[in-house]
Amino acid sequence: MSLPFDPTAWHVVPERTFDQLNVGEVFRAPSRTVNDAHASAFQTVSCDNHPIHYDVGYAKRFGHPAPVVHGLQVLAFTAPGATLLPHTFGAIFIAFTGLSVEFLKEVHAGDTLYPALEIASLKAMGDKGEVTTKVTVHNQRGEVVLSGSHSYLLHTGRIVPPGQAA
């Protein structure tokens, strides 16, 4: 006889405690080829209407081979939810607390991006802990187009979600 379905017990990957995380673990997002439709959609939601992002002639006049994909759009590809990282954190997750990035190379429509988050440090602070990840986005030529870090605040103790046995 099977147990009744419990949506609170549905996990994409096994959830882990702070102590089960390891420096050096890498969480990759699927690759994505950026196209004009992506850039146009981002322009709409960001309200960034600078012609460098859509006007071929303008971009070329200023030394760019094509319109430049919004840097914040490239940054968005590093969203933790694009990887299994937040699923791994599960119930111990408290907050995404910070980020810092450098935009190293231009991205253009047609480029394929490969985002990754690597656990760089784990700092226990009593009943909470800070996880810092090194964030990179490579293009199809192997060039790093974005580099930076994210930080997260987690519970360090085991958290039992409501409705589940301890």
Residue 99: strand, helix, or coil: strand
pTM: 0.89
Find, among 148, 128, 123, the residue nearest to 137 by Cα: 148
Position 164 scores a pLDDT of 57
Let me know if residue 8 belongs to a domain: no
Let me know if residue 2 belongs to a domain: no
pLDDT value at 161 more than 60: no
- Which positions ≥6 away from 75 have C-beta within 8 Å? 99, 101, 146
Let me know if residue 25 belongs to a domain: yes
Find, among 88, 120, 77, the residue nearest to 20 by Cα: 88
| Mean pLDDT, range 82-101, rounded to an integer | 95
3-state helix vs strand vs coil in the chain, percent to 5:
25, 30, 40
Let me know if residue 103 belongs to a domain: yes
CATH of the domain at 137: 3.10.129.10
Between CA 112 and CA 140 the distance in angstroms is: 5
In angstroms, how far is CA 12 from the centroid of its own chain?
17
Between CA 33 and CA 110 the distance in angstroms is: 6
Split into its structural domains, the chain has a count of 1
pLDDT value at 160 more than 70: no
Let me know if residue 40 belongs to a domain: yes
Q: Tell me the residue range of the domain where 101 lies.
A: 15-155
Let me know if residue 43 belongs to a domain: yes
Position 13 scores a pLDDT of 93
Let me know if residue 143 belongs to a domain: yes
Position 8 scores a pLDDT of 83
116, 32 in Cβ contact below 8 A? no
Position 158 scores a pLDDT of 65
Let me know if residue 50 belongs to a domain: yes
Residue 29 is classified by DSSP as P
Q: Write out pLDDT tens, residues 104-147.
A: 999 999 999 999 999 999 999 999 999 999 999 999 999 999 99
Position 3 scores a pLDDT of 80
Q: Write out pLDDT tens, residues 2-50.
A: 889 988 888 899 999 999 999 999 999 999 999 999 989 999 999 999 9
Distances (CA, A) of 23 to 17, 19, 54, 69, 99: 14, 11, 40, 32, 18
